[in-house]
Chains A and B, each alone.
Chain A
Amino acid sequence: MNHYYGDYGGQYVPEILMPPLQELEEAYEQYKADPEFTSQLNDYLENYAGRSTPLYYAKNMSAKYGIKIYLKREDLVHGGAHKLNNTLGQALLAKFMGKKRLIAETGAGQHGTATAMVGAKLGFETMVYMGSKDVKRQLPNVYRMKLMGTEVVSVETGSKTMKDAINEALRDWVTNVGDTHYLIGSVVGPYPFPKIVRDFQSVIGREVKEQVMKVEGRYPDSIVACAGGGSNAMGIFYPFLDGEVNLFAVEAGGEKLREDDKIAYHSASLATGEEGILHGARTKVLQNRDGQILESTSVAAGLDYAGVGPELARLAETGRVKPCYITDMEALEAFHELSRLEGIIPALESSHAIAYVTKMADSGILGDTVVINLSGRGDKDLQTIMNMEE
């Protein structure tokens, strides 16, 4: 089995994790075509997650910017973000594999929440690792997880954000490989995670294909999605990779595109990172000259990550996906604009994608019909924004 996307991907993990990765790969290949598995998953996606989500024509915004702007409403998925598409798939897989316990990392808390939801629903003991910095800035999500019976572990090591939460989850997995499934929340980590997460998120792009054909009779000129690890981007891009549609991955430009020896003041690993090995995969990584991983920065906790999915790194390298970035301030403006123009409060992560479209609408590079993946809703960010605007 090829574990690489070009030069990116692979399995750079402690030997202890080789058996569970192999077991996961075999189980996934077996169950993904199993009628019982797919029928249960489709039932959950429809009746629990609330799929399919609308492809919404943003009329007021379109009028203002002079191009047709559609929003893929992943913010309407149960829990408020696209994350549940993946956690339902992986938790069901873990159930079929006979696992008893789920662990996960979370940055913004959206993936942790989506894991807590499936943990409660499918009867797993569930533990979520979260950097202590993120615990502080995402308290409502921490409380949501606890309400659903999940234990939230505040991680005090390293930069105390998602990168360190992944380290801690990996350490847990190494210790409890027998009965535990590590439910990775993005298209990152060792193979087969990048593939599994991409496949479960591809429901987004498959729906867009049908929906846009129905209303436009053709595919859009461009699809724009924000990218931290890259799960919502890979999910909406993947079914369109074969065609001509322009695909834009919008990263977090943070305060500015600058790094020192310890900190990157942004999270734009596709646009500015260099090849390295992080969390089990060879990919684009924000690192210093020696290869020490930098602390990343973004107003959007869900984009605040020093690496990116290996398949996305490969697609950026071949030019199929165009990496770009938006600063904190631009994202904040877009957050307000969508709220006022359409009555939809977007997540700060998704606000990056919106900002890129409004910024580039005049340039012509997007064409005249654009789909934005509105990956999550903004309720979780209200405190952050109120604090910033004080």
Chain B
Amino acid sequence: MRISQKFEELKDKNEKALIAYVCAGDPDTATTPSIVNALVEAGADIIELGLPFSDPVADGPTIQAATCRAIEAGMNTERYFEMIKGLEVNVPLVCMTYYNLIYRHGSENFVKRCAEAGISGLIIPDLPLHEADELIEICKEEGIDNIFLVAPNTSDQRLDAISSKSSGFIYVVSKLGVTGEGKNISSNVAGLLDKINSTLPKAVGFGISNRKHVEEMVAAGADAVIVGSALVNIIASKDDVIPRLKEITKDLKEGCR
């Protein structure tokens, strides 16, 4: 499903989107589909599936550890696409990974395989806009959205450039730092959201881990929230994983209504 289609659906229902991140292959390739199913069943609107990279510099300890577990358990680019092809969920799927894995695979080839597997968008945290010209062209041809990140310290000039080159949604990083659960979300997010001059939906991520955060972000003007580490921590606990994932997802989604 296209990302834009999902946002239109939600607009009609007057809801915001819950984007759920998990690392593909954590704890193993066989379990990921049942995790994705549980998240979608409990209300996740878009699934962001991490393709694990050995050196994830934009991620905090929780997602680093998930990445390690997944690589150890044998997740790789081939298996990632195979697994995604086998998923039976009707929500947009977004691939989150680091640029070397794409570059190594051949950007054109990688994007084609994303399209074949049913992936709708790409998030590459170590590929800033000015290095992405080639990939943007390839993605356009294949109908894959390029989701760029903006941060609290991004200049107005770059905000405009990034907005104009993004598709799908704009990933708004809530804080200076890496991914990971936080106690409080910066009060400046509203200001950042206001500054982004775009018709695209704005999704806030980094440090969002409970319903209170979600409600704050929705109040601040977010069209979507991205939750990762809070879910990954449940997977890492190996304790009653599926029921607990469903429970937190339902609660987070309530915050989007």
What residues of chain A have their CB less than 8 Å away from a CB belonging to chain B?
A: 10-16, 18-19, 157-158, 163-164, 167, 170-171, 174-178, 275-280, 282, 285, 287, 289-293
Contacts and interface: CB of A to CB of B under 8 A. Distances in A.
Contact of B178 (A10, A174, A277, A293): A174
Interface in B102-149: 102-105, 125-131, 148-149
Given A11-B128, A12-B99, A174-B58, A290 B77 contact: yes
B64 A16 contact: no
Interface residues of B, number: 42
10 contacts: A15-B150, A19-B154, A167-B57, A171-B57, A176-B176, A276-B100, A278-B55, A289-B104, A290-B76, A291-B101
A32 B149 CA distance: 33
Given A12-B127, A14-B149, A16-B153, A290 B101 contact: yes
Contacts of A13: 57, 126, 128
Nearest to B178: A171
Interface in B148-167: 148-155, 158, 162
A164 B125 CA distance: 18
Given A175-B176, A175-B178, A276-B103, A12 B53 contact: no
A296 B121 CA distance: 33
Contacts of A15: 125, 128-129, 148-151, 154, 158, 162, 173
B237 interface: no
Among A13, A164, A171: residue with most chain B CB under 10 A:
A171
B131 A10 contact: yes
Nearest to B110: A291
Nearest to B125: A14
A175 B182 CA distance: 13
A279 B100 CA distance: 10
Contacts of A12: 99, 126-128, 131
B54 interface: yes
B54 A14 contact: no
B176 to A, nearest CB: 6
